[in-house]
Chain A
Amino acid sequence: DQQVKQNSPSLRVQEGRISILNCDYTNSMFDYFLWYKKYPAEGPTFLISISSIKDKNEDGRFTVFLNKSAKHLSLHIVPSQPGDSAVYFCAAGGSGGGADGLTFGKGTHLIIQP
Chain B
Amino acid sequence: DTEVTQTPKHLVMGMTNKKSLKCEQHMGHRAMYWYKQKAKKPPELMFVYSYEKLSINESVPSRFSPECPNSSLLNLHLHALQPEDSALYLCASSHDKRTTTDTQYFGPGTRLTVL
Q: Which residues of A contact B (CB under 8 A)?
A: 32, 34, 36, 41-46, 49-51, 89, 93, 97-107
Contact = CB atoms under 8 A, between A and B. Distances in A.
B20 to A, nearest CB: 19
Interface in B65-109: 88, 90, 92, 94, 96-109
A99 B49 contact: yes
Interface in B8-55: 30-31, 33, 35, 41-45, 48-50, 55
Contacts of B33: 99, 101
Contact of A98 (B2, B58, B98, B111): B98
Given A98-B31, A99-B50, A44 B41 contact: no
Interface of B: 2, 4, 6, 30-31, 33, 35, 41-45, 48-50, 55-56, 58, 88, 90, 92, 94, 96-109, 111
Contacts of B100: 32, 51
Contacts of B108: 42-43
B48 A100 contact: yes
A101 B48 CA distance: 7
B38 to A, nearest CB: 12
Nearest to A53: B100
Q: Which 9 A-B pairs have the closest CB atoms?
A: A101-B45, A99-B31, A104-B42, A43-B106, A97-B98, A99-B50, A32-B101, A98-B98, A99-B96
Contacts of B92: 43
Contacts of A51: 100-101
Nearest to B101: A32
A35 B103 CA distance: 10
Contacts of B31: 98-99
